[in-house]
Chain A
Amino acid sequence: MSTEARAEHFPAADWDGGVFPYRVGHRKLGMWLFIVSDSLTFSALLIGYSYLRASNVWPTPFPFYPSIVFSSVMTFCLLSSSLTMVFAVSASSRGDRARARKWIWGTIFFGLAFLVLHLIEWNHLYSEGLRPFSLPAEWVARYAAPNGPLPSPLFGATFFTITGLHMFHVFTGAIYLSVVAARIGKLKHEDVEISGLYWHFVDLVWMFVFPLIYIMSVDVGAH
Chain B
Amino acid sequence: MTGHTEEHEHFAGSNKLFTSIWIWLVLLTLVEIVLAYRPMAIHFMLTILLGLSIIKAALIVAYFMHLKFERLSLILTIVPMLVICICLLFVFFPDSFRSHALRYEFKETPPQPAMESH
In the complex, are the beta carbons of B100 and A189 less than 8 A apart? no
Q: Which A residues have a C-beta under 8 Å from some C-beta of B?
A: 1-2, 4-5, 14, 21-24, 29, 32-33, 36, 39-40, 43-44, 47, 50-52, 54-57, 68, 72, 75-76, 79-80, 82-83, 85-87, 89-90, 92-95, 129, 131, 134, 136-137, 140-141, 144, 146-150, 188-190, 193, 196-197, 200-201, 203-204, 207-208, 210-212, 215-216, 218, 220
Q: Is the CB of A55 within 8 A of B96?
A: yes
Cα distance A218–B33 in the bound complex, in angstroms: 10
Assembly CA distance A29 to B17 (angstroms):
25
B65 touches A200 (CB 8 A): yes
* A86-B64 contact, Cβ under 8 Å, with A55-B97, A72-B33: yes
How far is A219 from B26 in the complex, measured between Cα atoms in Å? 23
Per the 8 Å Cβ criterion, residues 41-93 of B in contact with A are: 42, 45-46, 49-50, 52-53, 56-57, 60-61, 63-66, 70-71, 73-74, 77-78, 81-82, 85-86, 89-90, 92-93
Tell whether, in the assembled complex, residue B117 and residue A207 are in contact, meaning their CB atoms are under 8 Å apart: no
Q: Given contacts A137-B117, A200-B60, are A211 and B53 in contact (CB under 8 A)?
A: yes
Note all chain B residues with C-beta closer than 8 A to A95: 7-8
Residues of B within 8 A of A47 (CB): 89-90, 93
CB–CB B110/A141 < 8 A: no
Kindly provide the distance from the CB of A200 to the nearest chain B CB, expressed in whole angstroms.
5
Residues of B within 8 A of A5 (CB): 2
List B contacts of A75 (CB < 8 A): 29
Docked-complex contact B9 and A204, CB < 8 angstroms: no
**A43 nearest CB neighbor, chain B only:** B86
Bound: A129/B71 CA distance, A: 51
B16 CB to nearest A CB, Å: 11
Q: What are 26 A-B pairs at a CB distance below 8 A?
A: A4-B1, A36-B78, A39-B82, A39-B86, A40-B89, A51-B96, A56-B100, A68-B33, A68-B36, A72-B29, A76-B29, A83-B19, A86-B18, A92-B9, A93-B8, A93-B10, A93-B11, A95-B7, A129-B118, A131-B118, A134-B118, A147-B109, A148-B104, A189-B11, A200-B65, A215-B32
Nearest-Cβ distance from residue A203 to partner chain B, whole angstroms: 6
Is the beta-carbon distance between A149 and B113 smaller than 8 angstroms?
no
A48–B60 alpha-carbon span in the complex (Å): 25
Residues of B within 8 A of A200 (CB): 60-61, 64-65
Residues of B close to A146: CB separation below 8 A: 110
Do B97 and A54 touch across chains, with their CB atoms under 8 A apart? yes
- Which one of B19, B36, B42, B81 has the greatest number of beta carbons of chain A within 10 Å? B36
Collect the chain A residues with CB atoms within 8 Å of residue B33's CB: 68, 72, 215
Asked if B46 contacts A216 (CB within 8 A), the reply is yes
